[in-house]
Chain A
Amino acid sequence: MKRPAARKPEDHEEEPLAKKQLQTKANSLLNAKDVDTKALKTFVHLLKDRPDHVQPADVMNVLEVIFKNLLKRRALDGSEGKSLKIREFYEETWLLLRENLLTESTVALKVCFQLIRAEAKHSLAPRKGWPAYRIREILETLLGDKEETPANALTNYGKYCKNLDVLDITIKHLVDLVPAKDFKDAPIQAMNFLHLLNLVDLGKSVLNAAEYHVETIKLKTFNLEQCSKRLNDIWAAVMLKSSGVEERLHRQMLVVLLERIINHLEDPIQLTDFLMDSLHQFDGPIALLALQGLFTLMQKQNITYPDVYEKLYNMFYPRMFYNKYKARLFYLADIFLTSTHLPENLVAAFVKRLARLALQSPTEDAVIMIRFVCNLLLRHTGLQKLIRSSQTAAADEISDPYDEQESNPVKSQAINSSLWEITLLQKHAVPEVANAARFINASLPVMEHELGALLDRKECNIFDDELQSKAKQFALNYERPKSLALPKNEVVTKYWDLI
């Protein structure tokens, strides 16, 4: 009983006075033999009225301590007037906590889950075991927000969702909570739901960790099969409502599908239509995500999709560097082009296109694409004639036969071309790119380059790397500038009237 009371002041000695006062009051309340309902009422009302001098987070923390102790003492059980009264306050606190869930998500969620744990240990009279209804309340609150997506609250909830019991209950309740309206009518609610669904992670890391929020209860029987079955149900319901949704929602659906659902679906073939439609109707990120979905289907369900390479080929265009999912595209392309049995003229078209794009792309992508081209040349040794043509062929000068505009990679004549782009890239101003492009001068490397590490790099990483390079010889101009203009090769003052 004394333990929490004694610990608190020690830990936070420099806390503002209001908080200290609150804690001492709580202490006295708990230390008293009989629970003073009036005092309890003031606490609850503090949260309700939100006076200026008190932080709601502090109040919630104090309330957590109080109710945890009361639950332990079983002060809420029983039928006499006092316990009923306390019970009433408890329920009111829950309501208030739910109100705070969206604004003070970190503390409120923590308090909620602490109380859930306490309640599970010392269950209240009519209900037994895990207070699953509480989770439902929380979920409803998270879903109910009308204006915007409560991003903070969702990420915080995601942390608790790593616990298998919470996960189980969440899935159970989500089945019922699928929005009643069509997605296009209530986009925000749908979005919230999808975000929540995105938190449901049945991945291996979570299952292997096997953590439980409430340890003591014997609810450790987590049933994966049942969960995936429920997920199937949820997705079926989602698919029903999802006709004609807007682009953002569509994208989110695809993300959730790819990240969380598709591995657990019993009959993923049904998705084919959805993915095909996504692939054909949209381009850019949605098409990309759909392509990834299709790829999964091709891998697992053996479906065939006739011109997947053409689609992939056409996803490489200059604007794609500014897409959010470009790393995914590179990753996918790498996988799609892994096979060494692909026709050479097809791969050559990819090689040419990548090289061409490297001439327009930001630095980090240029490096990726040069390495990728190098990998492709290694996989398809026949393609090495792009950089090592026979001496007779090299004698005469030609213009590039590769047709950039042709959308069909096979017809692009790339195989008859040569990789002049890479020679041009050797003249890139950023030394990293120039060095990467020099691979064609020497014999090709034995091993393929690892692309994974490169995919996550940003432009600023290259900047930082450059700063850390060891060579610190500050070579200076040897000609003293007399004014703004350089002694020779002046450009700025030629085209600017600055002075």
Chain B
Amino acid sequence: MKNVLECSHLVRRFGERTAVDDVSLSIAPGETYGLLGPNGAGKTTTIRMVCGLLRPDAGTVHVAGLPVNTAAGPAKQLIGFVPQDVALYPDLSVRENLRFFGRLYRLPRRRLERRVDEVLHLIDLGGRARDRVDSLSGGMRRRLNIGAGLVHSPTLLVLDEPTVGVDPQSRHAILESVTRFGEEGMAVLYTTHYMEEAERLCDRVGIIDRGGLVAEGTPRELVALVAERDRVRLTAVGGLTAYADACRRLARVEGAARSGDKGDVVELVVKDARSLLPDLLDLAHALDVGIRSVEIDEPDLEAVFLHLTGTALRE
């Protein structure tokens, strides 16, 4: 089956800094592809090149065999772009926003009205169609942000971290919708730095770090890369950055990083956690770090990322 998206050896530099370095990826029809990486890894730059918003310094992008570039080529008719921040007109109504973005894709009037109604139903905003966007809640705006990328029934839907800053209920609704898009045959490129989203939604995941694609495969294939390892989470107080650095120097530790919402967690990917645990506790004692709790888990995509890059996804 012919791929919907083909990116080949994409490179993009900003001055001396290489934001995207030789990234190649492809997405088949009905496939949801997750681009997983921390902030600043190159996800958004890659997406901007895929959508024709940024010209690559090297490499090519094709959608359904058509080349994508910054001009208004036919490939853009097939792409639905959902930017990271809500990109809507706050002083227009929900329906007016959907209608405007549909018109940009030259939908005939009747079809446009039909699609607007369908999308309103899909994002569950039918009852607010006449309301101005600035009167909607944050979650509703997020849903409408996605809806605006769907009006023209794209072949490839590109979502750039659509759940950042979203409440749990809206987040659940967004993830449900994305699952449905894939089931309906739409190819989806989904960037996130939430490992659990990538695991839940994506048929395949590409791990991107410092501009480069470091691994790619199904979540199961990626977890298999660290199958013999354990993931250790130490909740602690004290000089945790120095402690993580010291842990990284221990034999059998393959990745260590400070993480957690409050920065009070050190995550480790290690071989044979149980035999290593006394060494970790001794080291904490030596560095005057107080360990509050220890968790030893099965490896997941987060552990894969830690193993491959040496840093945490949300570091």
| Bound together | no
Which chain A residues have a beta carbon within 8 Å of chain B's beta carbons?
none
Which chain B residues have a beta carbon within 8 Å of chain A's beta carbons?
none
